[in-house]
């Protein structure tokens, strides 16, 4: 079992959160949604974290948590499931390959 609040805090550590959305449920249904809006207040951030203070099974089986954390630096973390286990994965925008960049004439 894993605590969703603790996991969120660990994933966001060292980054500035812009906003976030977390869903609890399955691929077929959403049981609960948790939102942290852009330009949130400290009270909204605390309330968001408290809403995530629950245990869920992040081990092998179906994915139970879905969501995205957007950061102010343009990166984000997304929930994903691989081989039955789920976790957050931090992502950056890929570099555009040179062959896709037009040269000015």
Segment 52-70, tens digit of pLDDT: 999 987 777 678 899 999 9
Kindly state whether residue 25 falls inside one of the protein's structural domains: yes
pLDDT tens-digit readout, 67-87: 999 999 999 999 988 777 788
The whole domain housing 31 covers 2-94
Domain count, the chain: 1
| pTM recorded for the entire structure | 0.85
Kindly state whether residue 17 falls inside one of the protein's structural domains: yes
Kindly state whether residue 84 falls inside one of the protein's structural domains: yes
Measure Cα distances from 88 to 74, 83, 97, 101, 103 in Å: 16, 14, 27, 32, 38
pLDDT at residue 16 is higher than 80? yes
Kindly state whether residue 99 falls inside one of the protein's structural domains: no
Kindly state whether residue 100 falls inside one of the protein's structural domains: no
């Amino acid at each position: 079992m894993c605590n969703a609040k603790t996991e969120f805090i660990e994933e966001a550590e060292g980054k500035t959160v812009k906003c976030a959305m977390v869903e609890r449920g399955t691929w077929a249904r959403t049981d609960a949604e948790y939102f942290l809006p852009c330009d949130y207040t400290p009270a909204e951030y605390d309330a968001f974290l408290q809403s995530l203070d629950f245990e869920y099974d992040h081990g092998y089986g179906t994915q139970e948590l879905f969501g995205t954390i957007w950061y102010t630096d343009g990166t984000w973390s997304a929930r994903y499931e691989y081989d039955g286990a789920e976790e957050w994965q931090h992502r950056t925008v890929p570099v555009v390959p040179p062959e896709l960049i037009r040269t000015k004439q």
